[in-house]
Chain A
Amino acid sequence: MSTILSELAAGIPQTIGITLASFVVAAVLGLPLAVLRRSEVWLVRLPAVVVVEVLRAVPPIVWLFLIYYSLGSTDQVRLTTFQAAVIGLGLIYAAHLSEAYRAGLNAVPVGQWEATRALALPRRQMYARVILPQALVVVVPPMATFAIALLKDSAIASVIGATDITFQAVQLTQQDLNGLGNFTVAGLLYIALGVPFALVARGADRVLSRRLVGS
């Protein structure tokens, strides 16, 4: 058990790296997608809707293949497996997170939006100082849930050859044929890595419910 763990541990930095980098990409790109989807102008709304729906309608593994073998293997662009995985998973989860952001924005009471308009706040200040601080607290628990999902989906990067936990487990199994042991440890490792995110979600949930009771 401990020997398996020490072998698989070689993949932990890659798994955590892919997960965190993709999450940052997703968190940054997801917000504008959510804001655009709420636009009253359909010409603005439509492209955002199409992007989100298409990103989610195709399996992650197909996106990674397209990005790694097709877009990332030309003469001009050479992507590493890590880069391809982060771009692919980052884009897919941007679509997912935009839904979470949208729910957060919807949770800000209409009166707050109206008040910013009554005060004639410029659009940037409206979002930065009034809307987002209120929306983001609501968004934290679903974001943590998506982070766990992303951690699990990062295993897919092993299929294009990223040297993560799953990749190490496959390599090890091809040497020692101990699939039961190796993949049990790998599975437990993923579950353990997800625990911090779950704690964040629970903590934020507690803050949220306290706030709701207070108001």
Chain B
Amino acid sequence: MSMLSEWQDYLPDFLDGLGVTLELTAVSLLVGLPLGLALALAMAAPRRAVRWPAILLVEVGRGAPALVVLYFVYYGLPQLSLTWSSFVCAAIALGFTTAAYTADIFRAGINSIPVGHREACQALGLSHSKELRLVVLPQAIRVVIPPLVGFCILLYQGTSLAFAVSVPELLSRAYSQASITYQFTATLTLAGLVYGAISLAAVALMRARWPRRAPTVAGAALPPERPDRTNPSWETTSERRER
């Protein structure tokens, strides 16, 4: 019971922290999604000089731990005489990681469009930009939304890394309360409950909306969904479309 009364004292501060967490999630998405789409388009570009740097960025963004990227921005940028607040550093780092992961999702979406559609565009003499804008992207968006939502939930959890550069988000609040009161169990459990409740609610909503997909919340990276000849529920969306 004593834990409940302690939680009442912590709650206002924690909700402030949750606000920062959600803000960081939103800003990272605002930075990362357009960049991710740009990288996906660049990865599909015919010219090597465009394609290779994009592939390199995506591979580095997905291959290096998000925490290392965060430290790189936080400790590295001041060397270039760019001193930004820890929130901005976290948003840049998480935005870059978001871009790398979503670039892969966007690329899969674009690749899921049947080749015939693109050939038809060329036969009609549409320009490259019109082909993307009018034919490819409108169809790809529908394919990529479920995995993007799954990634958003991961990103929401991932913002807890910003603790390491002392952004005053949810986990930082819990930790600083704990270092005052020494109630590590009470504070960290409450933080875990807040993170967990929102993640679980989001996952439940997602599954209600797209019931056929495999569950998408995974710690860091999802293995690519693999087609499985014996069990049709494991078909990828693109395969289902091709049929």
Contact = CB atoms under 8 A, between A and B. Distances in A.
Contact of B196 (A54, A141, A158, A188): A54
A125 interface: no
B184 A69 contact: yes
Interface size class of A (residues with CB under 8 A): 35 or more
A57 B217 contact: yes
Interface in A47-67: 53-54, 56-63, 65-66
Nearest to A145: B223
Contacts of A212: 229
A100 B67 contact: no
Contacts of B215: 99
A164 B204 CA distance: 36
Nearest to B200: A57
A58 B191 CA distance: 9
A106 B231 contact: yes
Contacts of A191: 59-60, 63-64
A145 B188 CA distance: 30
Interface string A59-80: 1111101100110010000000
B236 to A, nearest CB: 13
B71 A61 contact: no
Interface stretch (B44-52, B73-81, B110-118): B73-81
Interface string A171-187: 00100011110111011
A96 B76 contact: no
A61 B64 contact: no
A212 B226 CA distance: 13
B234 A159 contact: no
Nearest to A205: B226
Interface in A112-146: 138, 141-142, 145-146
Contacts of B63: 152, 187, 190-191, 194
Given A96-B218, A99-B214, A187-B69, A179 B188 contact: no
A100 B224 CA distance: 11
Contacts of A184: 72
Give the 10 A-B residue pairs with the shortest CB-CB distance, closest first: A179-B75, A187-B64, A183-B72, A142-B223, A179-B76, A155-B65, A145-B223, A180-B76, A149-B220, A191-B63
23 contacts: A58-B157, A61-B161, A63-B192, A65-B175, A65-B184, A66-B188, A70-B189, A92-B219, A106-B228, A142-B226, A145-B224, A146-B218, A146-B221, A149-B218, A152-B64, A152-B221, A169-B71, A179-B71, A179-B78, A179-B79, A182-B75, A183-B69, A212-B229
